[in-house]
Amino acid sequence: MKIIHNISQCVTMAGGARRGVRLAEPDILENAAIVIRDGLIIKVGSSDELLSRYPLAERFDAAGMAVVPGFVDPHTHLVWAGDRANEFEMRLQGKTYMEIMAAGGGILATLNATRKASLEELVAQSLERALRAFSYGTTTMEAKTGYGLDLETEFKQLEAILLLNHIGPLEVIPTYMGAHAIPQEYEGDTAGYTNWLCQTALPETKKWWLEHAPDHDLPFVDVFCEKGVFELAETRQILLEASRLGFPLKLHADEFENLGGASLAAELGAVSADHLVKTSLEDIRHLAQSETVAVSLPGTPFGLAQSEYTPARAIIDAGGYLALATDLNPGTTWNESMQFIQALSCRYLKLTPSETLAASTINSAKSISRDHLVGSIEPGKQADILILTVDDYRKLSYRYGTNLVASVVKKGEFYPNLSL
């Protein structure tokens, strides 16, 4: 048994995911303590009371430190090979994301590198990123495939995700995203590739998963719903087939143009709709009337030097669920830090520090269907906890460019930041 005591400020996020204006209610305890047993939180309360009640527990003194739930990053492309530094320079010279993609860059460039990489190379490169994210406070991360777009490489990415989760300490949640782009083999034939995904790839992915990970839930299925990639009709076709096969749904929607993807996500009961830069007020109303979480990825427009971001305040005002994610990927936003995402969100989404923290913990946990396990500090949850170097959680958003995590606690195990 372990106890973290003398906590200056314990931000619990207790009580479940937050809709609308409730996002700003962090639930804070002062001079608090957290009791941990067998990787789970068993008590949260007054430091003096819990120290007296559990005198034999191993003690961790957090005097002068704030404690918050471990960050949950619900949208990443963690597993890839190579980099796209050349495209960064192209964007600085005026090329757009879609122009680079049309010229064979973007996702397709990473696809070629990932197809060539061995499983061991993929795991080694991805593990470096996973450990960096963990050191910055991410304790649970979603990771997508989508840099293979054929059965062999997509399965290689899924196997890499399973291995990364097994290696730990970061917990990695899988998403199958064969609908990330149109591969060269189907250039000019989006309908043909869509049919292949529905008739071959999705059934084979389910078969592969049940053979290789029978004790795990089926992965999410995600689609890049965008003009020139998968438009609304093709997106609907893929998601309906995925749902029929039992896969839970996610959706890239309204990043560059509004095709109605957010409303489709709400209609089909997707767990989340992500990006949402071009989402209309009507689409926001549909999201707010559903359980679908709106996931904002402010690192992406920042990385693209764009001025338009997710209309986060409109989502909150409408009563929707809002979450945050890094969108970690090699092309537009190679950033493993959820701390930086919180800093961006205050400045460009006009969120408050309490809203950004809720959107990075309990709400982001809901956006990958893990809010019953992680995302808050309350009895029964996994002991996924961050002990900060500072005494006030608001400094996570106020400061940026440095790591404010002193120790990461994952399932009750302590991982001190050795760089401090």
Query: What does the pLDDT look like over 233-271, one tens digit per residue?
Result: 999 999 999 999 999 999 999 999 999 999 999 999 999
Q: Cα separation of 284 and 151, whole Å?
A: 35
Query: What does the pLDDT look like over 282-341, one tens digit per residue?
Result: 999 999 999 999 999 999 999 999 999 999 999 999 999 999 999 999 999 999 999 999
Peptide bond into 169 cis (omega under 30): yes
Helix (H, G, I), strand (E, B) or coil at 27: coil
| pLDDT > 80? residue 102 | no
Query: What does the pLDDT look like over 126-176, one tens digit per residue?
Result: 999 999 999 999 999 999 999 999 999 999 999 999 999 999 999 999 999
Percent of the chain whose predicted confidence (pLDDT) is above 70: 99
Cβ-based burial of 355 (10 A; exposed 0-12, middle 13-18, buried ≥19): buried
Mean pLDDT of the chain, nearest integer: 96
pLDDT number for residue 420: 54
User: Could you tell me where the beta strands, DSSP code E, fall in 261-373?
Assistant: 272-275, 293-296, 322-324
Contact 357, 342 (CB under 8 A): yes
CA atoms in the 13 A half-sphere facing the CB of 88 = 12
**Cβ count near 15 (within 10 Å):** 12
Query: What does the pLDDT look like over 45-57, one tens digit per residue?
Result: 999 999 999 999 9
Answer yes or no: do 143 and 211 share one domain: yes
pLDDT category of residue 372 using cuts at 50, 70 and 90: very high
81 domain-assigned: yes
Answer yes or no: do 296 and 350 share one domain: yes
pLDDT number for residue 412: 98
pLDDT category of residue 276 using cuts at 50, 70 and 90: very high
| pLDDT > 70? residue 211 | yes
Answer yes or no: do 255 and 241 share one domain: yes
Question: What is the domain extent for residue 33?
Answer: 2-69+377-416
372 domain-assigned: no
Answer yes or no: do 165 and 243 share one domain: yes
Answer yes or no: do 116 and 136 share one domain: yes
Answer yes or no: do 260 and 179 share one domain: yes
- Write the CATH number for 43: 2.30.40.10
| pLDDT > 80? residue 419 | no
166 domain-assigned: yes
Answer yes or no: do 166 and 32 share one domain: no
| pLDDT > 90? residue 398 | yes
Answer yes or no: do 57 and 147 share one domain: no
Contact 1, 36 (CB under 8 A): yes
Q: What is the pTM of this model?
A: 0.96
167 domain-assigned: yes
CA nearest neighbour of 335 among 295, 299, 386: 299
| pLDDT > 80? residue 214 | yes
**Cβ count near 91 (within 10 Å):** 18
Answer yes or no: do 298 and 355 share one domain: yes
Answer yes or no: do 101 and 174 share one domain: yes
| pLDDT > 60? residue 371 | yes
Query: What does the pLDDT look like over 239-248, one tens digit per residue?
Result: 999 999 999 9
CA nearest neighbour of 80 among 280, 329, 367: 329
Answer yes or no: do 228 and 240 share one domain: yes
- Write the CATH number for 220: 3.20.20.140
Cα separations in angstroms, 241 against 150, 194, 199, 217: 18, 11, 9, 18
371 domain-assigned: no
Please state the domain count of the chain. 2
Over range 199-204, report the average pLDDT.
Answer: 98
Phi-psi group of 27: left, alpha or beta (phi > 0 → left; psi -120 to 50 → alpha; rest → beta): left
Over range 201-217, report the average pLDDT.
Answer: 97
185 domain-assigned: yes
24 domain-assigned: yes
Over range 400-404, report the average pLDDT.
Answer: 95
Over range 178-186, report the average pLDDT.
Answer: 94
Answer yes or no: do 269 and 392 share one domain: no
Name the strands in the sheet holding 322-324, side by side, starting at the edge strand that comes first in the sequence: 71-73, 138-144, 171-179, 220-225, 250-253, 272-275, 293-296, 322-324
381 domain-assigned: yes
Query: What does the pLDDT look like over 44-100, one tens digit per residue?
Result: 999 999 999 999 999 999 999 999 999 999 999 999 999 988 888 888 888 887 788
Sign of the dihedral defined by the CA atoms of residues 49, 52, 58, 62, in that order: positive
